[in-house]
Amino acid sequence: MRRAIDNAVVWDGERVIERGSIGIEDEYIVALTDRPDGRFAADERVDAEGRLAIPGLINAHTHLYGSLARGLSLPEYGPRTFTQILEQLWWKLDKALDDSSVTTSALIGAMEAARCGVTSLIDHHASPNAIPGSLDRVRDAVCRRVGLRAALGYEVSDRDGEERAALGIEENARFLSTLDPQDRLWSAHFGLHASFTLGDRTLAAAAAAIPDGAGIHIHVAEGPEDERDCVDHHGLRIVERLDRFGLLRPRSILAHCLHVDRGEKDRIAERDAIVVHNPRSNMNNAVGTFDLAGFLDRGVVAGLGTDGLGANLLAELFTAGLAQRQTRQDALAGTFPQLDRLLFRNNPAIVERTFGVRAGRLAPGAAADVAVLDYVAPTPLNADNVLGHLLFGVAVHAFRVHDLYVAGRPILRGGAFVDIDEQAEYARAREEAGRLWKRIA
Ligand SMILES: [Zn+2]
């Protein structure tokens, strides 16, 4: 199938092209031109009518399993620490998930991601009472029904006992073994919850089960208690502990890393592991400030995620800048070049490592992952100020994705899902959420 998107203001990740035309063949972009006479011969042409076309956005750390928590109120809720937030909310919710609500949570979360222009996401899943086959359910909902690119992993943990830790290891190993190198729409990590809920026996079993080229996906030093626990129980810091098990790898994703020290940052850089920053979640949980400059200056592939708190990566990036400025009391902190690296350089690098496709560029050879935004600039827009438009124009106002393509497949057209009845799925989700909430109460 050959498609063309004509008359778009194209930001290809580097340049801005007025009245650009993007040519897509099957899963890849094959042409980009601003010459009306040089347009790609396509079976189907769509007129973008001057809208802004950008590379599809990437969420490098999320939890789709939390999608049905919105509006849930828990009578006893009153956490004083990060661990209490987990105990009083997230570990109650994940235990109540069954096969059906795992699917519905993933479907709703993926639909909302699509509406935010997300074409690739990396999910960290937990459903301790519905582990076997859960990653297949999430993949079927996210990649096959909605059509997004997704990498999945199950959060192995000792918090629910030995049997569930073993089932989690089995689920990751099984899912990794089913990866199809020809299918670039889905991938996998070996998911691990966090150092403070993983004993050495479980970590050793995970290290023995993870295939050579694969990476882990784990929370690292999100709250201060994670490092304290590691030093108290294991006599070393978290990054060092993971390294002893051979788990710091180029495909490994370490989410948060708020309380790691200098030596740990050096070790992450040395091993070329990935770090993912989630500023809105960190602020919501009051857990600490990310050392943005410290990671970027070391050359660490530091990307951006939402940690399940929505899927609006542009608002997340805007907040990343605010958080740096506010906490450091420095109006020059969180610079545009730093923010650009998080979402538009490093997140695409994470996708390349994870899925083996070129992302973050609208260029021949790159994945045909494209978001066409209902944004018409009221001031001049060019390659030098496009981030200003995305952050201070798109992110802070109501924004709507007009069309979305993932691997060349149209997911949204004219602001509506092509293959999904959104109203019907939302009605089903409200019923599912009602049943889920009753199991928690
Ligand atoms: Zn997380």
Query: In the chain, what are the domains?
Result: 2-55+358-417 (2.30.40.10), 57-355 (3.20.20.140)
pLDDT per residue as tens digits for the range 355-382: 999 999 999 999 999 999 999 999 999 9
Burial of 416 (0-12, 13-18, 19+ CB in 10 A): exposed
The predicted pLDDT at position 399 comes to 87
What is the Å distance from ligand 1's center to 24 Cα? Answer: 34
pLDDT for res 370 = 98
How far away, in angstroms, is 81 Cα from ligand 1 center? 16
Q: 76 pLDDT band (50/70/90 cuts)?
A: confident
Q: What tens digit of pLDDT does each residue of 144-192 get?
A: 999 999 999 999 999 999 999 999 999 999 999 999 989 999 999 999 9
207: enclosing H helix or E strand: helix 200-209
- In angstroms, what is the span from residue 39 Cα to ligand 1's centroid? 43
Confidence category of residue 75, pLDDT binned at 50, 70, 90: confident
Which phi and psi angles does 373 have, rounded to 5°?
-95, 145
Look up residue 161 and give its two tokens: 């006992």
pLDDT, one tens digit per residue, over 21-44 is 999 999 999 999 998 888 889 999
Quote the ligand 1 centre to 255 CA distance (angstroms): 7
**19 CA to centre of ligand 1 in angstroms:** 40
**Cβ contacts of 67 within 8 Å, gap of 6 or more:** 104, 105, 106, 108, 109, 112, 308, 429
Closest residue by Cα to residue 366 from 374, 355, 375: 355
Q: What is the pLDDT of residue 339?
A: 98
Query: How far apart are the CA of 123 and the centre of ligand 1, in A?
Result: 9
pLDDT of residue 113: 98
Query: What tokens were used for 200?
Result: 């050495």
Q: What is the mean pLDDT of residues 225-234?
A: 97
**Whole-number average pLDDT of the chain:** 97
What is the Å distance from ligand 1's center to 15 Cα?
33
CA 306–ligand 1 middle distance (angstroms): 8
- Assigned token pair, 227: 């490092």
Q: What is the residue-wise DSSP string for 325-389? A: HHHHT-TTSS-HHHHHIIIIIIHHHHHHHHHSS--S--STTSB--EEEES---SS---TTTHHHH
Say how many Å lie between the CA of residue 277 and the centre of ligand 1: 10
Whole-number Å distance, alpha carbon 216 to ligand 1 midpoint, is: 13
By the 8 A CB rule, do 135 and 152 touch? yes
pLDDT at residue 235 in the model = 98
How far apart are the CA of 192 and the centre of ligand 1, in A? 11
State in Å: Cα 305 to ligand 1 middle.
Answer: 9
CA 160/CA 173 separation, integer angstroms: 19
Taking the centre of ligand 1 as the mean of its atom positions, its distance from the CA of residue 63, in whole angstroms, is: 6
Q: What is the pLDDT of residues 86-123, one digit of tens each?
A: 999 999 999 999 999 999 999 999 999 999 999 999 99
- Range 124-144 average pLDDT: 98
Distance from the alpha carbon of residue 62 to the mean position of ligand 1, in angstroms: 6
- What is the arithmetic mean of pLDDT over 318-347? 97
Average pLDDT value for residue range 406-426? 98
CA 311–ligand 1 middle distance (angstroms): 13
Span from the CA of 47 to the centroid of ligand 1 (angstroms)? 39
Put simply, whether the predicted model's pTM sits higher than 0.85 gets the answer yes
Pairwise CA distance, residues 105 & 124, whole Å:
13
Instruction: Say how many Å lie between the CA of residue 217 and the centre of ligand 1.
Output: 10
Distance 124 CA to ligand 1 centre (A): 7
For ligand 1, the distance from its centroid to the CA atom of residue 45, given in whole angstroms, is 40
